[in-house]
Amino acid sequence: MKKASAQRRPVSRWRKLDRYWCYVFIAPAVVSYVLFTAWPMAASWYYSFFDWIGLGAPSEFVGLGNFIEAARNPYFWQAFLHTFQYMIGLVALNLPLTLIMAVVLNNKRLKGAAFYRVLYFLPVVTTTAIIGIVMTYIFSPFNGALNIALIKIGLLDKPVHWLGQAATAMLTVVVVAVWKGFGVNMLYWLAGLQSIPEELYEAAKVDGATGVQAFWFVTLPLLKPVGTVITLLTITGALQVFDLMKVMTNGGPFFATETVSLFIYRYAFGQQSRIGFASAAGIFFGVAAMIVAGLQSVLVQRANAERVGRQRVQPTAAIEPVAGRPPTGV
């Protein structure tokens, strides 16, 4: 960006006019930013200091009362725990599985890779809420396809109420979430894999590296930058999970899968709506999520710094042209 502006010759009159046009161009973004991003954020911070049911103007100032109440509410901490369980389950299953699939599909000798890519991407384009509902029927203990199939092949004696018992409900939702979001991370990994120059593999081969060694010492280190972004996106997405949980378990059974987003929704739109408390809980959790995301990037950066210190040649140089390049063509 800097380069483009530094090269520009002063074209006097035009430049002044250009500047006005710039403001016209950014005007929609500024207006929508102020109205739909900045104001709601500031307002929710403001509401969090009031005990307010959402009618009229907030008047009962309680200071940090809502935050303290949230910190003392065991259901809130339980929801915290569930959200992190979901996040860790999703990251632990989704990232390795999508990476393996991407490596398999990236094989140049595999014919029909494009077909498989489309096949495994398919669930991504479908509506989460609808898929979640369909899944509650497939996982149903009464005539659900999964139970019928498992009984038929002899893995089960009697149907399991996958979503109805605390022990299996969370894992069931995680599995569906992995399936639903699989294609996106698979494509991200593929984009990362395709940015690795073929010569590096040839060099590794010449040095006598096996396929596994090449993967471990060439592919994985070079995937780190892309991997960091993928992990961060998966984590932030998982922490906000709402649709799937809402339609599959609605937080049940007995709050066993209530995530923070459902907890807050219950307080904002439930029987007695407590907007101030819901806002405080949202900010509380937002800070926690920020810390998790920050921690993740600090850890990754430290790991990267160590790596660069050890062997400061190829890896970063190889990935940079791709990372800075606009997507495809031109």
301 forms part of the interface with other proteins (CB under 8 A): no
Rounded to a whole number of angstroms, the minimum distance from the CB of residue 194 to other proteins is 8
Torsion 179-180-186-188 (CA) sign? negative
How many residues sit in the footprint of other proteins (CB under 8 A)? 110
CB 261 within 8 A of CB 249: no
Which of 192, 221, 251, 315 touches other proteins (CB under 8 A)?
A: 192
Give the residue with the Cβ less far from other proteins, 143 or 311: 143
220 forms part of the interface with other proteins (CB under 8 A): no
Please choose, from the candidates 49, 44, 86, the residue with its C-alpha nearest in 3D space to the C-alpha of residue 64.
49
Which of 64, 92, 166, 287 touches other proteins (CB under 8 A)?
A: 287
8 forms part of the interface with other proteins (CB under 8 A): yes
Distance, CA of 206 to CA of 125 (rounded, Å): 42
30 forms part of the interface with other proteins (CB under 8 A): yes
For residues 150-189, which are near other proteins according to CB under 8 A? 152, 179, 183-184, 187-188
64 forms part of the interface with other proteins (CB under 8 A): no
Rounded to a whole number of angstroms, the minimum distance from the CB of residue 257 to other proteins is 17
Which of 103, 138, 156, 171 touches other proteins (CB under 8 A)?
A: 138
CB 188 within 8 A of CB 97: no
Residue with tokens 């609605």: 250
257 forms part of the interface with other proteins (CB under 8 A): no
Share of the chain residues as helix, strand and coil, in percent rounded to the nearest 5? 75, 0, 25
Which of 94, 128, 249, 259 touches other proteins (CB under 8 A)?
A: 128
For residues 90-119, which are near other proteins according to CB under 8 A? 104, 107, 109-112, 114, 116-119
Which of 73, 75, 242, 292 touches other proteins (CB under 8 A)?
A: 242
Which of 13, 21, 309, 317 touches other proteins (CB under 8 A)?
A: 21
206 forms part of the interface with other proteins (CB under 8 A): no
Distance, CA of 120 to CA of 104 (rounded, Å): 13
Q: Which long-range contacts (CB under 8 A, 24 or more apart) does 214-221 make?
A: 215/103, 219/103, 219/193, 221/307, 221/315
Rounded to a whole number of angstroms, the minimum distance from the CB of residue 88 to other proteins is 21
Distance, CA of 113 to CA of 276 (rounded, Å): 51
Q: Which residues contact 249 (CB under 8 A, 6 or more apart)?
A: 163, 169, 173, 256, 257
25 forms part of the interface with other proteins (CB under 8 A): yes
Cα dihedral 194→119→243→237 (10° resolution): -10
Rounded to a whole number of angstroms, the minimum distance from the CB of residue 292 to other proteins is 12
329 forms part of the interface with other proteins (CB under 8 A): yes
61 forms part of the interface with other proteins (CB under 8 A): no
